[in-house]
Amino acid sequence: MYFGTKADEATSFALMDRYVEAGGTVLDTANCYAFWADPTGAGGQSEATIGAWLGANSGVRDGLTIATKVAQEPVRPGDFTEWEGLAPEVIATQFERSRERLDIDVVDLYWAHGEDRATPLADVVAAMGALHANGSARRLGVSNHPTWRVEQARMLAEQQGVEPWTALQLTTSYVRPRPDTQVPGKDHRFGFVTDETVDYLQTHPEMECWAYSPLVQGSYDRADRPFPDVYDHPGTTARLAALREVAQARGAKPGQIVLSWLVQSNPSMRPIVGVSSVEQLDEALAAPHLSPEEMAALDAAI
C-alpha cells in the first residue's frame, strides 16, 4: 500500500527483492495507493514503484501474479469526498493508467475496489468482463461489496456470457469487532467477513477470499497498538487466551499464528500482509503450519 509514499523506493525494492527470494509470487496493490499519504492528494505511487522494480529486475515478472484495483481514487486530487467509482469509462481509462504505471501487458487480477451504486451493476460487469475478453485481465475480483451484490454480479456475468468475479477481498482476522459497530479507520460498510460470507465461500468453492489487515495493524504483537475498543468483548478475551497458548507452545508470535490460522481455516483466507521492513516480512513468512489439534483449540475459543 505504501510503496512510493511512506516506504521509499529503496525500502520498497528491498521488500520485493526479499519476498521473491523467499518464494513469494503475489503482489496486490491499487490505483489509489496511497493518495492520503502523498502531498499531491492523488494515488498511483505504489503501482509506479512496482513498475520501476519490475523494470529493474529483468525476468521477474513471469513468476508473479500482480493484482490492482479501481474505484477508490479521488476524482480531484486532495478532495477526499468524491471517488472515481466504477463507470465503464472509468474502468477502461484507469485500467490503462494502472497498466502503464505497472509497466505490464496483462493484469493478473483486477479488482472492483468498492461499490458504486450510481452505476448499474450490469454495466460494471460488462466493462470488467471486456477486459478479460480482450486478454488485458486474466482474472476479476471484488472488494468491499455485500454478498448479495457479489452474487448478483456473478449472475449478470453468466447472463452476459462474460467472466465473473472469482475472488473476494475483505478484512478479517482471528478476533472480530462487536457486531453493528464502526471500527476506526475502516469506513467500508461491507468490508468485513461475516458468517454469511463464510457460508457463501463454503457454498461456492470457486470463490477465493483475500483478507486485508489480517493482523489489525499489529495489535496482536505490539503493546503500542492496542485493539480498538470495538474489539473489547468476551469473545476476544477467549480467543486471545487460546492464541497465546498456541503461540507460546510453538515459540511463535501471536500474529504468526493468526496468519497460519487464516490460511488453514475452512474456507481458507489468503492474508494480505502489509509490511514496512524486511524483518516484518521474514516474520510473516515464518508463520508455522498448525496441527489439527492446534486448529481445533483455536476454533473452539468463542
Query: What global pTM score does this model have?
Result: 0.96
What was the pLDDT predicted at 189?
87
pLDDT for 62-111, tens place per residue?
Answer: 999 999 999 999 999 999 999 999 999 999 999 999 999 999 999 999 99
User: Does 182 have pLDDT greater than 90?
Assistant: no
pLDDT for 262-287, tens place per residue?
Answer: 999 999 999 999 999 999 999 999 99
Residue 205 has which C-alpha cell? 468453492
Domains of the chain (ranges, CATH numbers):
9-165 (3.20.20.100)
The residue behind cell 509514499 is 5
Taking the alpha carbons at both ends of the chain, their separation in whole angstroms is: 32
One-letter amino acid at 299 equals D
Task: Give the whole-angstrom CA distance, residue 273 versus residue 215.
Answer: 8
- Return mean pLDDT, the chain: 97
Q: How, if at all, do strands 79-83 and 74-76 pair?
A: antiparallel
Task: Pick the closest to residue 90 from 61, 131, 52 (CA basis).
Answer: 131
